[in-house]
């Protein structure tokens, strides 16, 4: 263990505080500004209140975009988790060459540049005469997050002892009963973690969404389009609300994982 003198400890503490301020200062500034109004482009420090939050909830465009984002994220999570479980079960019982080919196929859209993935999907939808809509966004996001979800689900499935499956078979359980009564109860944690990460990626995805979106705008696309005209004060409130929900979700997840790990 390295022992540091008082001077070095103070310097390290100051450096750590400066790093935290640089990294999280802009976020804290946005939270602070969400409680103040703008007057002629200037912050009115005497107008502290929740008026920006009232404007946010009255803004139908941002509310609709947020709803579209939540719908797309939820559908992408459900589809990607379901497909990952199917693919992981297939790879477990398939030859090593077949499993590697499957992993390479699933992983390519995730490791490729997003613009390449988006363009490929756009060309496919045009050639297939599929109109761009929320459905095409869901397909694109599912293709994008599938590799991450599959890796988490497959690793958890591989960690299950084969004796569990053999015991279920000896007791006369059918494959469907084994899936719902043996496999899924032992994989809930991995499925929830994979779903949370997939939802975060889907919520944030902008470039692929721009290429495959139709008339409906998800929240990142809406914010991107607002950049050309400037953000309204209620955007600060939107950032604060999303940040608060994210922190509550992270705290709940940490509490769940901590209580789940206790004997």
Q: Determine if residue 259 is left, alpha or beta; phi over 0 gives left, psi from -120 to 50 gives alpha, anything else beta.
A: alpha
Structural domains of the chain, ranges and CATH numbers in brackets: 6-51 (no CATH), 60-231 (1.10.3720.10)
Distances (CA, A) of 46 to 35, 38, 49, 52, 234: 10, 10, 9, 14, 17
pLDDT at res. 102: 80
SS3 of residue 37 by DSSP: strand
Tokens representing residue 173 in the block? 């359980």
pLDDT at res. 183: 83
Tokens representing residue 215 in the block? 């008339």
Mean pLDDT of the chain: 84
Closest CA to 51 of 244, 240, 234, 239: 234
Closest CA to 89 of 164, 195, 179: 179
From first to last of its 263 residues, the chain has per-residue pLDDT tens of 567 677 888 888 899 999 988 988 888 888 888 888 777 667 777 778 888 888 888 888 888 888 999 999 999 999 999 999 988 888 876 666 677 788 888 888 888 888 999 999 999 999 999 999 899 999 999 999 999 999 999 888 888 877 887 787 778 878 788 888 888 888 888 898 899 889 989 998 888 999 998 888 888 888 888 777 666 777 888 888 888 888 887 787 777 666 554 44
Q: Determine if residue 155 is left, alpha or beta; phi over 0 gives left, psi from -120 to 50 gives alpha, anything else beta.
A: alpha
pLDDT at res. 11: 87
Beta bridge partners of 38: 43
Tokens representing residue 106 in the block? 């699933």
Residue written as tokens 């590799």?
A: 147
**pLDDT per residue as tens digits for the range 18-66:** 998 898 888 888 888 888 877 766 777 777 888 888 888 888 888 888 8
pLDDT at res. 68: 92
**pLDDT per residue as tens digits for the range 199-221:** 989 998 888 999 998 888 888 88
Q: Are 63 and 75 in contact (CB under 8 A)?
A: no
Which residues are within 8 A (CB) of 33 and not within 5 positions of it... i.e. 6 or more apart?
43, 233, 236
Closest CA to 187 of 92, 46, 45, 51: 92
pLDDT at res. 263: 47
Q: How far apart are CA 119 and CA 116, in angstroms?
A: 5
Angle at 92 between CA 87 and CA 97, to 5 degrees: 85
pLDDT at res. 257: 62
Q: Are 209 and 140 in contact (CB under 8 A)?
A: yes
Q: How far apart are CA 260 and CA 157, in angstroms?
A: 18
Q: Report the predicted TM-score, pTM, of the whole model to 2 decimal places.
A: 0.81
């Amino acid at each position: 263990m390295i022992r540091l003198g008082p001077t070095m400890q103070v310097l390290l503490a100051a450096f750590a505080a400066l790093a935290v301020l640089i990294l999280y200062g802009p976020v804290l500034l946005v939270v602070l500004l969400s409680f103040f109004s703008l007057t002629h482009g200037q912050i009115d420090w005497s107008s502290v209140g929740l008026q920006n939050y009232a404007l946010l909830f009255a803004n139908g465009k941002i509310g609709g975009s947020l709803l579209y984002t939540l719908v797309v994220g939820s559908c992408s999570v459900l589809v990607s988790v379901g497909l990952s479980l199917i693919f992981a079960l297939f790879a477990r019982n398939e030859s090593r060459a077949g499993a590697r080919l499957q992993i390479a196929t699933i992983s390519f859209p995730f490791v490729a540049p997003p613009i390449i993935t988006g363009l490929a999907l756009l060309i496919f939808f045009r050639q297939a005469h599929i109109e761009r809509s929320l459905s095409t966004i869901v397909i694109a996001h599912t293709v994008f997050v599938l590799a991450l979800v599959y890796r988490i689900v497959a690793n958890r499935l591989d960690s299950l002892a084969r004796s569990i499956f053999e015991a279920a078979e000896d007791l006369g359980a059918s494959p469907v009963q084994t899936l719902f009564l043996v496999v899924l109860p032992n994989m809930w944690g991995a499925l929830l973690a994979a779903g949370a990460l997939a939802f975060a990626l889907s919520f944030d995805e902008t470039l692929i969404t721009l290429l495959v979106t139709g008339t409906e705008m998800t929240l990142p696309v809406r914010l991107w389009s607002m950049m050309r005209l400037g953000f309204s004060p209620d955007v600060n409130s939107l950032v604060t609300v999303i940040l608060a929900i994210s922190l509550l979700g992270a705290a709940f997840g940490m509490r769940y994982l901590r209580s789940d790990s206790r004997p």
